[in-house]
């Protein structure tokens, strides 16, 4: 119990600032660099990632000042391909999670706050969809809807992510709606939209953001898995996943080009680790805050 025995002057000044830690910021910086580089890729003086150069000396070149990560079996700069490859991976992962969050999150907040039959039905429906493995559904749909484009990936992965987001946000909304301050706002005459925007969403927000970040990481991995099956974007378009799938076949003679495998792999792994770390860190950070309040 909060005992009021301290001089009043003390309480307002003792602002508790919790630290996210240096690793968090390192991860955030890495994500920032990767995203900015991917967005600005055409304007930062990279060699073309797509022009094929079958000059004997250009193929499978070693790491050098001109080609930081070497060149691939088509004489293309691997560094440029890694940076450009992030574009589709990020586009698809952020796009599909945004789609899922907008639809799933909005539906969840309204259903959970309004309650009643609408909530019961939508929750049952989402549970039903969840019972079917999403990755399998994505694979099945994509294999009947070739050729794959980023838009199709966003649409299909996004829709398949709706039930998960729905469940998470619904839980957070139910917890928030039970709070006495929501009732207090209600009896002061606040109407439903105001309560949702001013009371519910600020409480649900941290959970949703943490889940969003973890979701982006798992979509990047899912895209990688799809590429491995040849179901991701088709040449000449390429993503991290397709880079890895190409490289997988080139580590044997006559090419034996390990640069093609190692660098995209390293970049993708570092990015995923950073995302997961940040997502987890945010989740625990906000959970503790909630427990303390």
CB of 2 to other proteins, least distance (A): 4
CB of 28 to other proteins, least distance (A): 22
Residue 20 β-bridge partners: none
For 197-219, b/e burial (b = at least 16 CB within 10 A) is eebbbebbebbbbbbbbbbbbbb
Handedness of CA 114, 116, 120, 122 (dihedral sign): negative
**Cα 287–chain centre separation:** 20
Binding site for other proteins (CB under 8 A): 1-6, 8-9, 11-12, 14-16, 116, 179-181, 183-191, 194, 198-199, 202-203, 290, 292-293
Residue 33 and residue 70: Cα distance in Å, rounded? 21
The residue among 137 and 190 lying less far from other proteins, judged by its C-beta, is 190
**Residue 53 DSSP code:** -
| Closest alpha carbon to 238 in 99, 75, 29, 82 | 82
The residue among 9 and 56 lying less far from other proteins, judged by its C-beta, is 9
Tokens for 19? Answer: 């630290």
The residue among 280 and 290 lying less far from other proteins, judged by its C-beta, is 290
3-class SS of residue 165: helix
Residue 71 β-bridge partners: 77
Kindly report the number of other CB atoms within 10 A of residue 152's CB atom.
Answer: 16
CB of 260 to other proteins, least distance (A): 48
CB of 190 to other proteins, least distance (A): 5
CB of 180 to other proteins, least distance (A): 4
The residue among 162 and 204 lying less far from other proteins, judged by its C-beta, is 204
CB of 52 to other proteins, least distance (A): 54
CB of 120 to other proteins, least distance (A): 12
Residue 75 and residue 54: Cα distance in Å, rounded? 6
The residue among 15 and 65 lying less far from other proteins, judged by its C-beta, is 15
The residue among 62 and 115 lying less far from other proteins, judged by its C-beta, is 115
The residue among 8 and 131 lying less far from other proteins, judged by its C-beta, is 8
Tokens for 278? Answer: 């940040």
Tokens for 168? Answer: 């998470």
């Amino acid at each position: 119990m909060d005992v009021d025995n301290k001089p009043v002057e003390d309480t307002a000044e003792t602002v508790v600032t919790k630290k996210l830690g240096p690793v968090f910021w390192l991860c955030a910086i890495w994500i920032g660099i990767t995203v900015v580089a991917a967005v600005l890729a055409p304007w930062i003086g990279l060699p073309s990632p797509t022009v094929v150069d079958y000059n004997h000396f250009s193929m499978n070149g070693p790491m050098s000042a001109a080609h930081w990560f070497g060149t691939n079996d088509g004489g293309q700069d691997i560094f440029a391909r890694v940076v450009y490859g992030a574009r589709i991976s990020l586009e698809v992962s952020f796009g599909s999670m945004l789609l899922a969050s907008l639809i799933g999150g909005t539906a969840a907040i309204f259903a959970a706050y309004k309650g009643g039959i609408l909530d019961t039905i939508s929750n049952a429906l989402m549970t039903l969809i969840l019972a079917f493995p999403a990755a399998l559904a994505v694979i099945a749909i994509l294999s009947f809807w070739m050729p794959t484009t980023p838009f199709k990936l966003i649409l299909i992965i996004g829709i398949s992510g709706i039930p998960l987001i729905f469940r998470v946000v619904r839980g957070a909304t139910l917890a928030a709606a039970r709070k006495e301050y929501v009732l207090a706002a209600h009896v002061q005459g606040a109407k439903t939209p105001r309560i949702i925007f001013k009371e519910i969403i600020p409480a649900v927000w941290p959970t949703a953001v943490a889940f969003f970040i973890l979701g982006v990481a798992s979509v990047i991995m899912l895209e990688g898995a799809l590429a491995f099956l040849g179901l991701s974007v088709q040449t000449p378009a390429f993503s991290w996943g397709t880079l890895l799938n190409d490289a997988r076949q080139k580590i044997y003679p006559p090419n034996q080009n390990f640069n093609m495998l190692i660098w995209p792999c390293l970049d993708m792994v570092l990015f995923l680790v950073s995302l997961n770390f940040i997502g987890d860190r945010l989740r625990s950070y906000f959970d503790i805050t909630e427990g303390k309040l």
